[in-house]
Amino acid sequence: MTGRKRVMAFAIGIIALALTVLGVVLAATDPNPGSIGKDPLALNGYPPRSADLSVSLSTSGGVGLDANITVNFKDNRASALVSFPTIISPSDVQVLMANDDLYARSASVTSGPWYATPFKSLPLFGVSLELTKPDIYLISGFHESISQSGYSTTYTFTRKHVVLSRLIGSSTSLSTLGSVRWTITTGSQGEASASTLVIRSKHSTSTISVKVLSYNQSATIVVPPSNGLQTLPLSGLEKLLKGQDFASLLIPRSLTSLGQTSIS
């Protein structure tokens, strides 16, 4: 049972990270109206009601996951199937975010118990607006390059000498200098279609990628019944996330300040 709770906590923490990063990584793309080819993700200027996403995270220290995420922007809910390498079974976990809670259970036991822990839900409607009308021109302080392929435009932003910190740790944790490479791909009408953030230090590399598979597909996300829920204490989750599994996971100390310092 302890092993299963550890896996559930790992999945909940990772999907919370993925959903949080989604709101940041996809918060800047450029409207680029056009009619080159047929764009399957075109939104015609309307915020999407839902989105299907593919998310991956990996580090040179061995942390890794792949997740398929369905987001219902209208109901402010999300569900995901998270797969990650582990010697502890199961390796696939189903995760839901709704009503300021995160729920998780083994994907291989559909009738098994749900575990729950409090989690402040993201304002997903705001994310849907950014997916539709992003503001790439607000990104500054990077070396920028732009490439075109059919109806897709890819923007690449790079910067050296960025202050990096471990994702998990106290405010006094040691920081290091590294580099950031951020790519953002948009479709024919400027809608977000993909984004990848690569963060490198002298001894570590972290990569987070998000790809939009589809918009406006059916996305009914049902919250597990309260009867039979098992609580996963937040203190236990925090203890797990501070373990060595996450020692190599780095992020810029302040994602929002990336455009406020000079580049080298």
Q: What DSSP character marks residue 127?
A: H
Is the backbone peptide bond immediately before 90 cis, with ω within 30 degrees of 0?
yes
Question: Which residues on neighbouring strands pair with residue 96, listed in sequence order?
Answer: 79, 103
Sign of the torsion formed by the C-alpha atoms of 122, 255, 183 and 85: negative
What distance lies between CA 233 and its chain's CA centroid? 23
* CATH node for 2-260: 2.50.20.20
> Cα–Cα distance between 35 and 243 in angstroms, integer?
49
- Domain locations in the chain as residue ranges: 2-260
What distance lies between CA 253 and its chain's CA centroid? 17
What distance lies between CA 196 and its chain's CA centroid? 10
- Sequence length of the chain is 264
pLDDT, one tens digit for every residue, the chain (264 residues): 444 454 445 455 555 555 544 554 444 333 344 444 578 898 988 999 999 999 988 888 777 788 899 999 999 999 998 887 655 544 688 888 998 888 888 777 666 788 888 888 778 888 898 888 778 888 888 999 999 998 899 999 999 988 887 765 544 456 788 999 999 999 999 899 999 999 998 888 889 899 999 999 999 999 988 888 888 765 655 554 555 455 567 777 655 444 443 333
Can you give the pTM of this predicted structure? Answer: 0.75
